[in-house]
Chain A
Amino acid sequence: MIELTRREVLKGMAGLGAAGALPHILSGSAQAQTTKKRELVVAQGGDISKFDPHFSTSSNDIRVSFNIFDNLTSRHPNGKLYPGLATEWKLEGQTTYRFKLRPGVKWHNGDPFTSADAKFSIERTYDAAAKTMVATALSTIDRIEAPDPLTLVIHTKKPDPLLPARLAFYGGQVVPKKYLEAVGNDAFNAKPVGTGPVRFVSWVKDDKLVLEANPAYWGGKIDADRVVVRSIPEAAPRIAALLKGEVDVITQLPPDHGERVAGNSATKVQGALYAGLYVLAVNSKRPPLDNPLVKQALSLAIDRDAIVKELWRGRGIVPSGPIAKGDNHFDPSLPPLAYNPTEARERLKKAGYKNEEVFIETTVAYVSNDKTMAEAIVAMWRDAGINAKVEVIEYSVRAQKNREKSFKGMFWSDPTSTLGDPDGMMWRLLGPGGPQDYWRQPRFDELGNAARFSVDEKFRGGAYREMTKIFLENFPWIPVIQPYEDYGVQKYVEWTPNPNQQFEIRRFNFKFHRA
């Protein structure tokens, strides 16, 4: 119904910018790089839908739930796992993990945190009666014991090298057993109680969420008394709110707006290399995409450097394969995916390509720059002699096609590395029965399965190297870019974004510069 895309805003803003209305508007107090503020205001592109962390995986929700709640383990912005509500853990044998829990932690309502909460919380995620939206997140678990209040023993069905990583991401937020059982799901969702650095105060939908600092937080009280989360859906007003100093941090800063934020004396751009890739996922069952040579040609005909430079203003890197930079088993010796249109034509000839139509069904702003990139890529493909076409589909149509696996050719996907490991990315999505299972190769499947259930990292490294090789011959995804996820931040805020969209406001990660 609204045909207003981000693009149009940008055009509007560009026009106004040209008219001289824009930069260097701020002066005086806004230029201060220190602050006396006790309130952190964050603006994101969409509102929260639910507070119960087991009922949502949307990025707008988890930015909040990872701060109201804690996980047993915690993935910091540097990509490494750290203690959370568990202080240490070790693998005993192949399938048993023993977690030591943090003593003295209290829920926001004053109840003590114990292993009974952790057991209840994890079991709740896959309990059929609880009907959560994260039923598969921790389904490798067979059973859990809580022998004493500060010990948790988890038995997995098969060896699971990634259990501590799984517990750090969605589904792993620990909820309070006693409170939840007393008030029920709805009341808990309306008034959540966690152990995290902020506690819930009030929420007016699509207006603002108010949180206050938990003074007794085990990780130390954060450097603010209150945190306010606002939703400003359009990029232009979101940036205006930052430039005017109404908000301290904005999420989803489009790459072509970075210069405005960086060029303003009071604000800066803060980015994290996305823990994942933007890829064109391929329906490899549809001819001519069932022919690996055609897919190799498609990949070779994309000038990714130009896309990074022109469409992303340099805010991204060219991927080398299916594993995101920063993940376990990423191979730094692999070269970036090559651009060679001559070779692309050769492979098309070898493939016996007969000018069949090749489609990209693109969304608009499902991932940033999707439509623009699709148009650019199709132009590159046509130059290489491929009969390529773009079709635009709406987000929920994409969801439907995704479920029915009925895409006509290629479609945008932004596989997130949920576990900092290829298992949580390529194998989760491309594996047999996965949501992007359009292509099978016996050796690839054998290795993916073996790596999933092995606790021998050396073996896993070898398996992912070989899988990468098979991937680069078959291209079940055509990786396009690993972008930076940029935030606009006031200079008086010191904060490091997390590559996987967790938005951690904790003492180790956030501070106001004081005069």
Chain B
Amino acid sequence: MRGFLPFLGHRLFRALIALWLVSTVVFVVMRLSGDPVPLLLPPDAPHSEILRVRAELGLDRPLPTQYGVFLGNVARGDFGRSIHFREPAFRVVLGYLPATFELGLTAFGLAVVIAVPIGLLSAMRRNSFLDHASMGLALVGQSAPTFFLGILFILLLSLKAGLFPTSGRGDWTHLVLPALTLGAFSMASIARLTRSAILEVLRADYIRTARAKGLSELLVVAKHTLKNAAIPIVTITGLQFGTLLGGAVVTETVFSWPGIGRLAIQSIYNRDYPVVQCTVFLSAAMFVVINFLVDVSYGLLDPRIRSH
């Protein structure tokens, strides 16, 4: 792995730029979108009250000053105090992270464990009943709105069949429906992409060679196909992972799951700038890390990339 350190340094620099850009955009957009103070006070609060609370929260200062303070604080890991909860924003977001990881990881696990074998089998048994059925299902998974799917699961599997609780967080039974709902889209995407990546490789000359020299189909797939099809699969899987961790607004709302997606959307409605900034920053940071890991894995999977 020659040149790994410069590669790492370069990636880190780009990651910092990305985080700075994301924070700045969120800072500006949140402030353009409205004032949190009228949402905090009773509807009949006089104007003087509004001014007082604005000053108390530091929202009366000029935007560039607020921005300077914000950047300085973020550099020290301080995201300010939540306007809505009146406690440090970072602590608020941290409280929501375990639920997000629990749901995101389960959904991701389900998606990978189910989707990769299905994609593989569909490619190997192309145009079979299995292929058509699973790709048809994948199409439904990709196109059905999460919201509809979630309600459908609640009504059929929870209310009618009585298999799972309707909503909330608790033991593993609480996890099944939201994870299926959240994982459905990723599952469908991964299955379809796995299928096409494998098909692509199966057409390659070296596969023909492998078959020609009499290798069993199992060996052909295990030794020659999977590894060569891995790059696109790892890429989409990594991206899906980032999306799943970034918070699942709709799934979390339907199943009243206490994760950061729901926190983010509520904080936007409440104009709770510090919490929105902190959530977006952390989501972006996770995405950057996952992207970085995906990049590094390319090197491991494909020696040609390593040598460049």
| Chain A nearest CB, measured from B262 CB (Å) | 6
Contacts of B205 in A (CB 8 A): none
Residue of B nearest to A13 (CB): B151
Interface flag for B171 (CB, 8 Å): no
A10-25 interface bits toward B, Cβ cutoff 8 Å, 1 = contact, 0 = none = 0011001000011001
Whether B33 pairs with A396 at a CB distance below 8 angstroms is yes
- For the A-B complex, the count of residue pairs with Cβ-Cβ distances under 8 Å equals 152
B256 contacts which of A137, A230, A395 (Cβ < 8 Å)?
A230
Interface flag for A262 (CB, 8 Å): no
Selecting from B12-20, B42-50, B66-74, the interface stretch reads B42-50
Contacts of A186 in B (CB 8 A): 86-87
Residue of B nearest to A399 (CB): B38
Whether A246 pairs with B265 at a CB distance below 8 angstroms is no
B166 contacts which of A47, A170, A244 (Cβ < 8 Å)?
A244
Contacts of A232 in B (CB 8 A): 167-168, 256
Whether A9 pairs with B87 at a CB distance below 8 angstroms is no
Interface flag for B63 (CB, 8 Å): no
Inter-chain CA distance A409–B81, complex, in Å, is 37
Interface flag for A204 (CB, 8 Å): yes
Whether A135 pairs with B49 at a CB distance below 8 angstroms is yes
In the complex, chain A residues 185-228 whose Cβ is within 8 Å of any chain B Cβ? 185-186, 189-190, 204-208
Task: Given A4-B147, A206-B262, verify A189-B40 contact (CB < 8 Å).
Answer: no
Whether B154 pairs with A397 at a CB distance below 8 angstroms is no
Contacts of B52 in A (CB 8 A): 128, 131
Inter-chain CA distance A287–B270, complex, in Å, is 33
Contacts of A234 in B (CB 8 A): 253-254, 256
Whether A205 pairs with B148 at a CB distance below 8 angstroms is no
Whether A170 pairs with B42 at a CB distance below 8 angstroms is yes
Residue of B nearest to A434 (CB): B44
Instruction: Tell me the dominant secondary structure on chain B's binding face.
Output: helix
Whether A246 pairs with B256 at a CB distance below 8 angstroms is no
Interface flag for B291 (CB, 8 Å): no
Contacts of B263 in A (CB 8 A): 205-206
Contacts of A396 in B (CB 8 A): 33-35, 39, 269-271
Listed from nearest, the 6 A-B pairs whose CB atoms lie closest are: A206-B258, A399-B38, A207-B258, A240-B166, A57-B42, A232-B256
Interface flag for A109 (CB, 8 Å): no
Given contacts A133-B45, A208-B168, A236-B254, 20 further A-B contacts (CB under 8 A): A1-B249, A16-B152, A22-B155, A131-B56, A204-B258, A205-B258, A206-B96, A206-B262, A207-B168, A232-B256, A234-B256, A237-B151, A237-B154, A243-B159, A396-B39, A396-B270, A399-B35, A399-B38, A402-B43, A429-B44
Inter-chain CA distance A360–B117, complex, in Å, is 55
Residue of B nearest to A171 (CB): B42
| Chain A nearest CB, measured from B58 CB (Å) | 13
| Chain B nearest CB, measured from A485 CB (Å) | 18
A205 contacts which of B39, B92, B152, B155 (Cβ < 8 Å)?
B92
Whether A237 pairs with B255 at a CB distance below 8 angstroms is yes
Whether A205 pairs with B35 at a CB distance below 8 angstroms is no
| Chain B nearest CB, measured from A451 CB (Å) | 17
Task: Given A16-B152, A25-B159, verify A246-B165 contact (CB < 8 Å).
Answer: yes
Interface flag for B160 (CB, 8 Å): yes
Whether B44 pairs with A136 at a CB distance below 8 angstroms is yes
Inter-chain CA distance A190–B167, complex, in Å, is 26
Whether B148 pairs with A12 at a CB distance below 8 angstroms is yes
Inter-chain CA distance A133–B41, complex, in Å, is 6
Interface flag for B95 (CB, 8 Å): yes
Interface flag for B306 (CB, 8 Å): no
Residue of B nearest to A424 (CB): B44
Inter-chain CA distance A408–B163, complex, in Å, is 51
Contacts of A55 in B (CB 8 A): 86
Interface flag for B268 (CB, 8 Å): yes
Task: Given A237-B166, A429-B44, verify A244-B158 contact (CB < 8 Å).
Answer: yes
Whether B38 pairs with A403 at a CB distance below 8 angstroms is yes
Interface flag for B250 (CB, 8 Å): yes
Inter-chain CA distance A156–B256, complex, in Å, is 46
Binding site for B on A (CB under 8 A): 1-2, 4, 8-9, 12-13, 16, 21-22, 25, 47, 49-50, 55, 57, 128, 131, 133-137, 170, 185-186, 189-190, 204-208, 230-234, 236-237, 240-241, 243-244, 246, 395-397, 399-400, 402-403, 428-429, 433-435
Task: Given A131-B56, A136-B46, verify A2-B250 contact (CB < 8 Å).
Answer: yes
Whether A433 pairs with B35 at a CB distance below 8 angstroms is no
| Chain A nearest CB, measured from B32 CB (Å) | 12
Whether B256 pairs with A402 at a CB distance below 8 angstroms is no
Contacts of A395 in B (CB 8 A): 269
Contacts of A402 in B (CB 8 A): 38, 43
| Chain A nearest CB, measured from B157 CB (Å) | 11
Interface flag for B137 (CB, 8 Å): no
B98-139 interface bits toward A, Cβ cutoff 8 Å, 1 = contact, 0 = none = 010000000000000000000000000000000000000000
Whether B46 pairs with A236 at a CB distance below 8 angstroms is no
Inter-chain CA distance A13–B258, complex, in Å, is 24
Whether B160 pairs with A236 at a CB distance below 8 angstroms is no
Task: Given A4-B147, A136-B44, A231-B256, verify A236-B35 contact (CB < 8 Å).
Answer: no
Interface flag for B224 (CB, 8 Å): no
Contacts of A233 in B (CB 8 A): 253, 256, 262
Contacts of B250 in A (CB 8 A): 2, 4
Contacts of A244 in B (CB 8 A): 158-159, 162, 165-166
Inter-chain CA distance A429–B46, complex, in Å, is 11
| Chain B nearest CB, measured from A322 CB (Å) | 16
Interface flag for B169 (CB, 8 Å): yes
Contacts of B34 in A (CB 8 A): 396-397, 399-400
Interface flag for B85 (CB, 8 Å): yes
Whether B155 pairs with A21 at a CB distance below 8 angstroms is yes
Interface flag for B156 (CB, 8 Å): yes
> Which one of B56, B166, B268 has the highest number of Cβ atoms from chain A below 10 Å of its Cβ?
B166
| Chain A nearest CB, measured from B153 CB (Å) | 10
A/B interface sample: 6 pairs, CB < 8 A: A205-B258, A206-B266, A207-B99, A207-B168, A232-B168, A240-B159
Interface flag for B11 (CB, 8 Å): no
Whether A205 pairs with B95 at a CB distance below 8 angstroms is yes
Residue of B nearest to A401 (CB): B38
Inter-chain CA distance A510–B264, complex, in Å, is 36
Residue of B nearest to A398 (CB): B38
Residue of B nearest to A8 (CB): B147
Contacts of A50 in B (CB 8 A): 85-86
Whether A240 pairs with B271 at a CB distance below 8 angstroms is no
Inter-chain CA distance A118–B249, complex, in Å, is 43
Whether B155 pairs with A13 at a CB distance below 8 angstroms is yes
| Chain A nearest CB, measured from B230 CB (Å) | 34
Residue of A nearest to B88 (CB): A186
Whether B265 pairs with A1 at a CB distance below 8 angstroms is yes
